[in-house]
Structure 1
Amino acid sequence: MESDLVSEHPPFIRIYKDGRVERLTGTETIPTSLDKTNDVVSKDVQYSREHNLSVRLFLPHKATAGTNSKKLPLLIYIHGGAWIIESPFSPTYHNYVADVVTSANCLAVSIQYRRAPEHPVPASYEDSWSAVEWIFSHSDGSGPEDWINEHADFGRVFIGGDSAGANMTHHMAMRAGKEKLDPKIKGIAVVHPAFWGTDPVDEHDVQDREMRSGIAQLWEKVVSPNSVNGTDDPLFNVVGSDSDLSGLGCEMVLVAVAGKDVFVRQGLAYAAKLKKSGWKGDVEVVEEEEEGHVFHLQNPHSENASKFFERFVKFITTP
């Protein structure tokens, strides 16, 4: 009943007194397919028995023919959805990653992680790192999953994500640097990253108190209620905190922002902070001034989405 509603956070979730969580979007799933008449074959493989979590693997069907033993670039993808909704199995992410695999001729591993509010942050970060470690256990060719053993080029590993997934992509690269992950990650694609803080990063950042408060409430009440510093938690406030980015564990970073996205100034400030940090890699910024948050997923066949798609594919096929 409506009276049993504790809180509502459109367009994401409703939370009820009995603890039930109703997700308002991102709940549909699409099955895998080993049908080799498709451009891409896919399958789900469990990487965490403890939490019953899987990755969805995508492989160009021509790679399964066995006629070409050349290793493929490896894309590790972390989906967005405010840490609350969506999954690697939803049509949005299944179709997008499959299209990338077709165009880039790469192997992709799309990560499932535990979501808030049932599993508040940092569960999603811990799961994503666990998946990265599981994937890298194949780097010597003797891991548990044949597709990764046989096809992944661990000299060309890229991690990419959008929104909350872009935030986590950054933190995976930071942890990779800290823990000296070997082989090294070649590049990360941070697309419309969900970075935030109590205060605006500059005079062009969102000044509207109600909007800032709404984002803060979602983080503090739903996503990460255990954060000591609220929205200034270094996991969320990457730009405004004293986080040292110089140890980022990759060679190159693509930062994509959209001019009409609430997070645009945070994304630009992140790129600027990274360039000034002493980190030795290359940073490229791509901006679509007339577009909004994750426009490339919401309208994937638009002209600007197609343009960004080509840039993303070019990034993850860097030799």
Structure 2
Amino acid sequence: MASRALLALLMVVLCSSLASALRSRASDPNMEVKFDFTPFLIQYKSGRVQRLMGTTVVAPSVDARTGVASKDVVVDQSTGLAVRLYRPRHRGGRLPVLIYFHGGAFVVESAFDPVYHDYLNALAAKAGVIAVSVNYRLAPEHPLPAAYNDSWTVLKWVVADMHRGADSWLAKRGDMSRLFVAGDSAGGNIAHNLAMRAGQHGGARIHGVALLDPYFLGTYVDPAAQKAWGFICAGRYGMEHPYVNPMALPAAAWRRLGSSRVLMTVSDLDRLGPWQRAYVDALRGSGWPGQAQLYVTPGEGHCYFLNNLESPKAAMHMATLAAFINRTT
């Protein structure tokens, strides 16, 4: 009987200690969840952000498979804004320049991620471009418009670097008359908004814009998507704002898009597809004098082309982008 009583007492003490520990953890702001943005990240009430993906980085190198060389450059010391440059093997003459923005819902991934490093190596080799992959600042630490401002800073930096005649990859090999901007998912959103800003404020002529499964939404979306957008921009812009819903733009604004060519790629199973297609319709119907190309991949989901680069569909997607960059008419 004494042993049973002792065991019961120990169980009471153990349960009490466990309950106390759970109460202490629940009241710890470093462990209490403020916003759950799974599968991307979790933000805690203390402000701590736990990223669940996109945190692996690889160093610049000379890619053994493609021969493309890469290096990192800090563009703005005050913000830490940096880019990774990619230079293909010498082909003679000057090359198109592509400013690229990675995806990741504005909150994860980087220009130094292995997936994007492999993708840009392959794209630089396939298209014969000097690529500038932008490591823009991420939300929630830097909510929008931080990423848009970073894109503008990089655009101005690229133009200045090409004009100053310095002994740099851009100045020595880049062709300013063939300047492109591109991005996937959130990066496609950034590329669009950069082209709109360039059209309104000048400073650079963008030859073409490639929007690869871009992150666009409309007013009538599910509550989770609305909360996510509010988190990304810290509640500064509603679902009707042109940053996320370009279809809200008046026709006159579309006509100021700072490029004469646009490529829109849509993965057929992407839930963002309706807004991506609506973008092309709105652009074509606005009186904008340029050419809009729509490329649809059947049976694939959002940004499938970033992985398994050797698959037939991903290879065709990249070939379409390369052809868009190198088209002469």
TM-score with structure 1 length normalisation?
Answer: 0.89
Number of residue pairs the alignment of both structures matches: 299
Match of 1:54 in 2: 82
Of 213, 218, 221, the residue aligned with 1:192 is: 213
d(CA) in 2 for partners of 1:312, 1:167: 17
Sort the Cα spacing of 1:35 and 1:101 in 2 relative to 1 into closer, same or farther, 3 A.
closer
**Residue aligned with 1:125, SS:** helix
| Residues 162-186 of structure 1, C-alpha deviations (whole Å, 9 max, x = no match) | 111101111111111111223x111
d(CA) in 2 for partners of 1:197, 1:105: 36
| Residues 231-284 of structure 1, C-alpha deviations (whole Å, 9 max, x = no match) | 222201111454721111111100101111011010110001001111111110
- Quick check: 1:122 aligned with 2:179? no
- Quick check: 1:219 aligned with 2:229? yes
d(CA) in 2 for partners of 1:35, 1:266: 36
Q: Any conservation in 1 of the 2:261–2:291 contact (CA below 8 Å)? A: yes
d(CA) in 2 for partners of 1:249, 1:37: 35
Displacement of 1:50: 1.1
Which amino acid in 2 is paired with 1:217? K
- Of Structure 1 and Structure 2, the greater helix share is in 2
**Residue aligned with 2:106, SS:** coil
d(CA) in 1 for partners of 2:291, 2:63: 39
Match of 2:179 in 1: 157
The list of structure 1 runs, each at least 4 consecutive aligned residues, that deviate by more than 3 angstroms after superposition, is: 34-38, 240-243
Which amino acid in 1 is paired with 2:57? T
Match of 2:303 in 1: 294
- Quick check: 1:251 aligned with 2:260? yes
- Quick check: 1:17 aligned with 2:39? no
- Quick check: 1:179 aligned with 2:189? no
- Quick check: 1:39 aligned with 2:67? yes
Of 272, 277, 291, the residue aligned with 1:282 is: 291
- Quick check: 1:85 aligned with 2:108? yes
Which amino acid in 2 is paired with 1:218? A
**Residue aligned with 1:215, SS:** helix
Structure 2: 5+ residue stretches without partners: 1-24
d(CA) in 2 for partners of 1:297, 1:215: 23
| Residues 15-47 of structure 1, C-alpha deviations (whole Å, 9 max, x = no match) | 112211011001100100157896111000011
Q: Any conservation in 2 of the 1:198–1:232 contact (CA below 8 Å)? A: yes
d(CA) in 1 for partners of 2:140, 2:295: 32
**Residue aligned with 1:74, SS:** strand
d(CA) in 2 for partners of 1:37, 1:159: 25
Of 127, 130, 134, the residue aligned with 1:111 is: 134
Match of 2:242 in 1: 234
- Quick check: 1:140 aligned with 2:163? yes
Displacement of 1:141: 4.1
Q: Any conservation in 2 of the 1:141–1:150 contact (CA below 8 Å)? A: no
**Residue aligned with 1:129, SS:** helix
d(CA) in 2 for partners of 1:25, 1:152: 34
d(CA) in 2 for partners of 1:217, 1:267: 20
Which amino acid in 2 is paired with 1:15? Q
| Residues 189-235 of structure 1, C-alpha deviations (whole Å, 9 max, x = no match) | 011111112226xxxxxxxxxxx211111111x2012324x222220
d(CA) in 1 for partners of 2:248, 2:270: 18
Of 272, 280, 293, the residue aligned with 2:281 is: 272
CA-based RMSD: 1.8
- Quick check: 1:27 aligned with 2:55? yes
Displacement of 1:96: 0.3
Which amino acid in 2 is paired with 1:310? A
d(CA) in 1 for partners of 2:108, 2:59: 18
Displacement of 1:94: 0.8
Sort the Cα spacing of 1:316 and 1:7 in 2 relative to 1 into closer, same or farther, 3 A.
same
| Residues 65-108 of structure 1, C-alpha deviations (whole Å, 9 max, x = no match) | xxx4x101111101111000011100111110110111112111
**Residue aligned with 1:98, SS:** helix
Structure 1: 5+ residue stretches without partners: 201-211
**Residue aligned with 1:128, SS:** helix
**Residue aligned with 1:118, SS:** coil
